[in-house]
Amino acid sequence: MKITLTIVAGTAALTLILAIPAHAQETQNAGVKETVKEDAKTVGHAVADGAKTVGHAVADTSRKVGHEVADTSKKVGHEVADSSRKVGHEVAEKTAPARETIREDSKKAGGAIAHGAKAVGTSVEHGAEKTKDAVTHKSEEPKPATEPKPAAEPKPGG
């Protein structure tokens, strides 16, 4: 690719070098001028075609490299995901006993709290029944008869 471009550029330079002395001689005929023009045009087209060829080659190579990079990235991504999954499962296995212990302790604590709440509720209920019975029995019992108070005696001296 670079060699083709170099050859084309060299040919163009040679054509231009040869065209300069031809232009300097004003006695040259019109046919020589036309030939130089045609040669310069041909060299220009050759340079353009060479550049186009090189450009396409670079684009093809870039495309191939891009696909290789994408494939490699995909492969590495899958490897990272597999490693992460493996580590996650290892951590889960190692922490399973601790999680089970916490679960059992939570059940025990919840049961103890429920039992305590039930005991408090029962105690309050019995206390309320006792209070109710005490108030109810007092109001239902007849009041003891009280003896009349003796009349007040007059105070001396007055």
Domain contains 66: yes
Is residue 146 domain-resident? no
Domain-embedded: residue 6 = yes
Q: Are 28 and 22 in contact (CB under 8 A)?
A: yes
Is the model more confident about 8 or about 31? 31
Name the burial class of residue 43, with classes exposed (0-12), middle (13-18) and buried (19+) by CB atoms within 10 angstroms of its CB. buried
- Read off the DSSP letter of residue 67: H
Supply the pLDDT for residue 45.
92
What is the C-alpha separation between 16 and 47, in angstroms, rounded?
A: 13
Q: In one letter, which amino acid is 132?
A: K
Mean pLDDT, the chain, whole residue set: 82
Q: Give percent of the chain above pLDDT 70.
A: 70
Question: For residue 79, what are the domain limits?
Answer: 2-92
Q: In this structure, is residue 150 part of a structural domain? A: no
* Total count of domains within the chain: 1
Q: Is the pLDDT of residue 5 over 80?
A: no
| 13: Cα separation from own chain's centroid | 58
State which of 34-48, 92-106, 142-156 shows the largest mean pLDDT.
92-106
Report if pTM > 0.85.
no
Q: Tens of pLDDT along 109-128?
A: 999 999 999 999 999 999 88
Residue 112 lies in a domain: no
Euclidean distance between CA atoms 47 and 39, whole angstroms: 12
Q: Quick check: is 121 in a domain? A: no
Position 152 in a domain: no
Q: Tell me: pLDDT of 50 over 80.
A: yes
Give me 61's structure tokens.
């190579």
Is 105 contained in some domain? no
Looking at residue 135, its pLDDT comes to 81
Q: Which among 35, 38, 50, 44 has a CA at the least distance from the CA of 13?
A: 44
